[in-house]
Structure 1
Amino acid sequence: MRILITGSQGQVGSLLVSKLSATCEVLALARSELDISARAAVIDTVTHFKPHYIINAAAHTAVDKAEDEVELSFAINRDGPAYLAEAAKQVNAILLHISTDYVFDGKGADIYTESMATGPQGVYGQSKLAGEIAIAEQTDKFIILRTAWVFAETGNNFVKTMLRLGETRDALSVVGDQFGGPTYAGDIADALITIVKSIESGKQPQWGVYHYSGLPHVSWFEFAESIFAKAQEKSILTKVPALSSIPTSAYPTKAKRPGNSRLDCSKITSQFGIKPSDWQLALENISKYK
């Protein structure tokens, strides 16, 4: 089985490579090796390698920078997925693509299902939603995995930021009115691999969009509390900063953050038997996030 992985040096991409390389023929490409916004390069790479699956873990995820880098965001998050989907159809490959909670407006208290109305509030979310639409226009055989609050041992993420700040700060203020499901990147990789295995076993999937994130749902403040509690328990930090919960209004950012990022994962559980990410279990290995 041949699998093409784009964004291979990212949080999810790097874990996909490590998990799949021993059992599959993997072509792992970082952005420096394949710019997915370059259509000719995408078509050429795919038609030569002829993968059975393409897993797109590449994205422009700098949410605040996206407000200024509009063209770049849409090139990577919309055009890139469109070209990958076009190329996948040419070689009869299946495309698996990672999307985001930012496609929703983040308002209200309802947990988001896949069928609920989208309404992105910023360039990042708009470009990611455009990518979802472009994929559906180019191919029929695709799975889009929307996720949220991703963290891993590598890259830039909330867990690593908290641990870094915890070494030097006596006190920290963390937003307490944004809620979501922290999601370990390794669990996202495992979910994508489970989907591939299910399809390979002959099970006909329901193509389209699925939600996958972690439980229990918490605020950023509550997530920070858990991180520091685990860091102290595992002796990663000898002392932890005093935490205070602040509203979003007290921490202005260029891009608007969703107040509600809670995703309903029942569809992916029903279809593939995939349970939500256990982020508390992932924090047991907190020493690896330093």
Structure 2
Amino acid sequence: ERKELRIVADQIGAPTTAQAIASAVAGIVLPNITTLHDQLMRRGGVVNLVCAGETSWHGFATAIVGGLRSRGVTLAVDNIVPIATADFPTKAVRPGNSRLDLTRLKAQFGVAMPTWQEALARELDAYVQLSAPAHA
């Protein structure tokens, strides 16, 4: 219900939805169900799985508010103010850059992740649909 939100703008990453993760995992496991263990043991290493692209928490908040408004949702917030991490102290130290490389995911399993904007749009569409009053 606040008119103004103060959101950290100097931490960069890729917001990733549970649906995007589940879809990617299914895309890896299902076609390789009988050989996946052997493939993973042979290849070794880390395979990152996040949505493509990057944004700050401020950029993400701005996209959420803009996306909801464009879908007809009324919000109290008028202003989203970018702030530095130092202006929002927390017990947990957060990295300024938490981007992850998706090269191995694509090369080893042929999985291309959606952008965080595409994943967010799907979530906002689902939210609006679930929030709509039922028609008798």
Given the two structures, how large is their TM-score scaled by the length of structure 1? 0.39
Deviation track 1:189-236 (CA, whole Å, cap 9, x = no partner) reads 111112212322647522442101122201110111111110000012
1:199 aligns with 2:32: yes
Residues 15 and 50 in structure 2, CA contact (< 8 A), matched pair in contact too: yes
CA RMSD after TM alignment: 2.0
C-alpha distance 175-219 of structure 1, shift in aligned 2 (>3 A): same
Runs of 4+ with deviation above 3 angstroms: 201-204, 287-290
Tell me, yes or no, if structure 1 residue 257 matches structure 2 residue 87. Answer: no
Determine if the alignment matches structure 1 residue 226 to structure 2 residue 63. yes
Q: How many residues align?
A: 123
2:10/2:96 contact within 8 Å kept: yes
**Residues 123-162 of structure 1 aligned to structure 2 (within 5 Å):** none
Q: Which has the higher contact order (CA 8 A, sep 6+)?
A: 2
- 1:283 equivalent to 2:120? Answer yes
Report the Cα distance in structure 1 between the residues aligned to 2:51 and 2:20, rounded to whole angstroms: 9
Q: Within 1, Cα distance between the matches of 2:97 and 2:104?
A: 19
* CA distance in structure 2 between the partners assigned to 1:246 and 1:194 by the alignment: 38
Per the TM alignment, residue 178 of structure 1 is displaced from its structure 2 partner at its CA by 0.2
Distance in 2, matches of 1:234 and 1:182, equals: 20
Unaligned runs of 5+ in 1: 1-167
Q: Distance in 2 between matches of 1:277 and 1:248?
A: 27
Percent sequence identity over aligned pairs = 36
Say which structure is richer in strand: 1
Q: Which runs of 5+ in 2 are unaligned?
A: 132-136
TM-score by length of 2: 0.80
Q: Is this contact kept in 2: 1:212–1:277, CA < 8 A? A: no
> What secondary structure does 1:174 align onto?
strand
> Helix, strand or coil: the match of 1:277?
coil
Q: Deviations over 1:27-71 (max 9, x none)?
A: xxxxxxxxxxxxxxxxxxxxxxxxxxxxxxxxxxxxxxxxxxxxx
CA distance in 2, matches of 1:235, 1:246: 28
Matches within 5 A, 1:63-74: none
- CA positional deviation for 1:287: 4.9
Give the corresponding residue for 1:174.
7
Aligned counterparts of 1:273 and 1:189: Cα–Cα separation in 2 = 15
CA distance in 1, matches of 2:5, 2:75: 16
Query: Is 1:184–1:278's contact at 8 Å kept on the other side of the alignment?
Result: no
Corresponding residue of 1:184: 17
